[in-house]
């Protein structure tokens, strides 16, 4: 793309400021800027603005399979799940493309050392759980790791340096998610350098499309994988390819399922499983209205009580049917460094929006979802912040409680 074309395109979308420093740039920087502009999908800016105005539909509470039922049917579920793993029908997908801005480390979040007296990365914690399942099943489920352009190299390197955590390396494959521009509060794309727009990972919602469009898509087809267990990097108690969860889902006949825990308070920052316009859906904490958040039943418990922990099982055939449907964009408020009047500004608090699609929005499209309750102290230790709520400190305490040596 040349300067004239870029200028015209930017004028159309009100983003001419991206060329503000063009006169000061070297030839190489100019080429880099024009190439970046040519790769941005500007149409998502207006789509996102429209999506943002739509809001949430009519909500009603959703049921989940309670812990008691799982305990009663444990063997039935376990046998069905382990059998599916043995037959190679299940693979895992690790969503590791996020930037972990709240944790604030300059490395992929999974590489963070959660150990105290020994090195124990978040990746290592999670891989130990997956390895245990593989050993019990006598079959190593494929693991597809989604990274972003920001952390791909360092993530691959870390797995390699750590000998793939004892897992079969030919069963671990990486793929890179797409990016989207970050915008200021008035909708202007930010520059991180005079020649470089801020492009950040576009949320975890595109994990399946990105997987299918990468070489991993072929592996998925060739191996005849029917179910994908998708999980987030930031829960160090994450049980991956849990046979009981898989078995319960298969026997339910539903096309997807999600692990849920009982929320500890109305304000807890987790998405909530509910029904939206009559269909199973997950509403993010910042989009759940006060009238729902704090609603209590007769015994004083929260009506919208099931929080999701980013551990889902998706049927691949159903994903193929819905993968052409666009997911809405959300504006996620984040701290983003940017150039202003030629100088780099590093904000202290969130100043910008990243445009993200979310996995939770896939649930509505799947046409049925089993909520599967798990014990939160055994399966949910989120690492979002360095200290305080959902932090390194709280996660360490829960790991110790579960017998993990730190
Ligand atoms: P979060 O919503 O916590 O976002 O991600 P984040 O970017 O990692 O962290 P903050 O908000 O900046 O502190 C939940 C999960 O989704 C993945 C993350 O890696 C994490 O496992 N994710 C998030 C992606 O894979 N891609 C993204 O674009 C965003």
The 3 state secondary structure assigned to the chain is: CCHHHHHHHHHHCCCHHHHCCHHHCCHHHHHHHHHHHHHCCCHHHHHHHHHHHHCCCCEEECCCECHHHHHHCHHHHHHHHHHHHHCCCEEEEEECCCCCCCCCCCCCHHHCECCCCCCCEHHHHHHHHHHHHHHHHCCCCCEEEEECCCCHHHHHHHHHHCHHHHCCHHHEEEEECCEEEEEECCCCECEEECCEECEEECCCCCHHHHHHCCHHHHHHHHHCCCEEEEEECCECCCCCCCHHHHHHHHHHCCCEEEEEEECCCCCCCCCEEEEECCEEEEECHHHCCHHHHCCECCCCCECCCEEEEEEEEEEHHHHHHHCCCCCCCEEEEECCCEEECCEEECCCCCCEEEEECCCHHHHHHHCCCEEEECCHHHHCCECCECCCCCEHHHHHHHHHHCCCCC
Kindly give the distance from the C-alpha atom of residue 262 to the centroid of ligand 1, in angstroms, as a whole number.
22
pLDDT of residue 48 exceeding 90, the answer is no
Q: What is the predicted pLDDT for the residue at 135? A: 98
Kindly give the distance from the C-alpha atom of residue 201 to the centroid of ligand 1, in angstroms, as a whole number.
9
Q: What is the predicted pLDDT for the residue at 89? A: 98
Percent of the chain with pLDDT over 90: 84
**Entry pTM:** 0.92
Ligand 1, residues 94, 95, 97, 98: which to mutate, most atoms within 8 A of Cβ? 98
* Half-sphere exposure of residue 400: CA atoms within 13 angstroms, side-chain side: 11
pLDDT of residue 332 exceeding 90, the answer is no
Kindly give the distance from the C-alpha atom of residue 96 to the centroid of ligand 1, in angstroms, as a whole number.
7
Atom of ligand 1 nearest to the CA of 234: 21
Q: What is the predicted pLDDT for the residue at 323? A: 87
pLDDT of residue 53 exceeding 80, the answer is no
How far apart CA 3 and CA 31 sit, in angstroms, is 9
For the ranges 49-58, 250-259, 374-383, the lowest mean pLDDT is seen at 49-58
Kindly give the distance from the C-alpha atom of residue 204 to the centroid of ligand 1, in angstroms, as a whole number.
7
Q: Which residues line ligand 1 (CB under 6 A)?
A: 95-102, 146, 177, 201-204, 232-234, 310, 334, 356, 384
Q: What is the predicted pLDDT for the residue at 295? A: 95
Atom of ligand 1 nearest to the CA of 203: 28
pLDDT of residue 88 exceeding 70, the answer is yes
User: What is the residue-averaged pLDDT of the chain?
Assistant: 94
Atom of ligand 1 nearest to the CA of 207: 25
pLDDT in tens, 256-305: 999 999 999 999 999 999 999 999 999 988 889 999 999 999 999 999 99
pLDDT of residue 163 exceeding 80, the answer is yes
Kindly give the distance from the C-alpha atom of residue 137 to the centroid of ligand 1, in angstroms, as a whole number.
30
Atom of ligand 1 nearest to the CA of 101: 12
Q: What is the predicted pLDDT for the residue at 52? A: 67
Kindly give the distance from the C-alpha atom of residue 97 to the centroid of ligand 1, in angstroms, as a whole number.
6
Question: 363, 370, 235, 399: which is closest to 309 by C-alpha?
Answer: 235
Confidence of residue 72 (pLDDT cuts 50, 70, 90): very high
Atom of ligand 1 nearest to the CA of 148: 26
Atom of ligand 1 nearest to the CA of 94: 21
* Arithmetic mean of pLDDT, 335-361: 93
How far apart CA 249 and CA 133 sit, in angstroms, is 17
Nearest residue (CA) to ligand 1, atom 14: 232
pLDDT of residue 389 exceeding 80, the answer is yes
Kindly give the distance from the C-alpha atom of residue 203 to the centroid of ligand 1, in angstroms, as a whole number.
7
Question: 242, 228, 247: which is closest to 379 by C-alpha?
Answer: 242
Kindly give the distance from the C-alpha atom of residue 4 to the centroid of ligand 1, in angstroms, as a whole number.
37
pLDDT of residue 45 exceeding 90, the answer is no
Kindly give the distance from the C-alpha atom of residue 42 to the centroid of ligand 1, in angstroms, as a whole number.
22
Atom of ligand 1 nearest to the CA of 201: 28
């Amino acid at each position: 793309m040349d300067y004239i074309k870029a200028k015209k395109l930017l004028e159309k979308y009100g983003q001419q400021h991206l060329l503000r420093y063009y006169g000061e740039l070297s030839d190489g920087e100019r080429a880099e800027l024009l190439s970046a502009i040519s790769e941005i999908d500007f149409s998502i800016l207006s789509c996102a603005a429209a999506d943002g105005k739509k809001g949430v539909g009519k909500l009603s509470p959703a049921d989940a399979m309670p812990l008691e039922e799982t305990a009663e049917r444990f063997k039935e579920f376990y046998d069905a799940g382990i059998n599916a793993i043995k037959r190679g029908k299940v693979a895992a997908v690790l969503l590791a493309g996020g930037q972990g801005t709240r944790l604030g480390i300059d490395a992929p979040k999974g590489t963070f050392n959660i150990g105290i007296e020994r090195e124990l990365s978040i990746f290592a914690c999670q891989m130990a759980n997956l390895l245990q399942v593989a050993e019990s099943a006598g079959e190593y489920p494929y693991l597809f790791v989604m990274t972003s352009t920001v952390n791909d190299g360092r993530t691959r390197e870390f797995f390699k340096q750590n000998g793939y955590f004892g897992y079969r390396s030919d069963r671990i494959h990486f793929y890179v998610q797409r990016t989207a521009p970050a915008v200021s509060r008035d909708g202007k794309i930010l520059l991180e350098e005079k020649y470089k727009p801020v492009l950040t990972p576009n949320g975890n919602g595109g994990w399946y499309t990105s997987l299918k469009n990468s070489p991993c898509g072929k592996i998925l087809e060739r191996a005849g994988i029917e179910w994908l267990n998708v999980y987030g990097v930031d829960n160090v108690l994450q049980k991956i390819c849990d046979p009981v969860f898989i078995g319960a889902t298969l026997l339910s006949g539903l096309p997807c399922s999600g692990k849920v825990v009982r929320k500890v308070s109305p304000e807890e920052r987790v998405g909530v499983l509910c029904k939206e316009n009559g269909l199973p859906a997950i509403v993010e904490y910042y989009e759940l209205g006060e009238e729902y958040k704090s609603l209590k039943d007769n015994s004083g418990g929260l009506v919208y009580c099931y929080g999701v922990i980013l551990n889902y099982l998706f049927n691949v055939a159903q994903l193929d049917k819905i993968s052409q449907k666009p997911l809405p964009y959300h504006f996620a408020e984040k701290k983003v460094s940017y150039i202003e009047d030629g100088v780099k500004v590093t904000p202290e608090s969130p100043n910008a929006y990243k445009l993200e699609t979310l996995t939770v929005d896939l649930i509505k499209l799947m046409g049925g979802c089993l909520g599967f309750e798990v014990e939160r102290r055994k399966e949910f230790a989120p690492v979002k912040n360095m200290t305080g709520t959902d932090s390194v400190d709280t996660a360490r305490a829960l790991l110790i409680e579960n017998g993990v040596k730190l």
